[in-house]
Amino acid sequence: MNVKVLDKLEKSYVKLDWSEVIQNLKLSVKDMESIVDVINTFKKNKSAKEIVICKYKNFPFYVTIKKQEFLDLLDFIEKKFINLELYEKCKLIEDIKSKL
């Protein structure tokens, strides 16, 4: 979700930078795949300067990432996939990175 849309939907919320909270999140493979899909969807959207990659349950806390940091997050997720030996997922990440 684009942060501009979030501004319209939520009257009051806390925006958290992904780099500050990513180590504390318990991301499943499905969660990481969803984040990769969100980045893939918004990679060419020029109006989306910052996007929401996840929301904390039961709280108005949203983890966001700025467009110029997409590569850093993709690198982080790619390392996680390599550690889990999910090499086929790395191919998609490499494809996305080449188009950024």
Q: Would you say residue 11 has pLDDT above 80?
A: no
Residue-level pLDDT at 47? 85
Cα 26 to Cα 16: distance, rounded to the nearest angstrom: 16
Q: Would you say residue 9 has pLDDT above 80?
A: no
pLDDT band at 29 (very low <50, low <70, confident <90, very high): very high
Q: Would you say residue 8 has pLDDT above 80?
A: no
Do the beta carbons of residue 55 and residue 63 sit within 8 Å?
yes
Which tokens sit at 84?
Answer: 């889990």
Do the beta carbons of residue 61 and residue 55 sit within 8 Å?
yes
Residue-level pLDDT at 90? 95
Residue-level pLDDT at 38? 94
SS3 of 49, please?
A: coil
Q: Would you say residue 6 has pLDDT above 80?
A: no
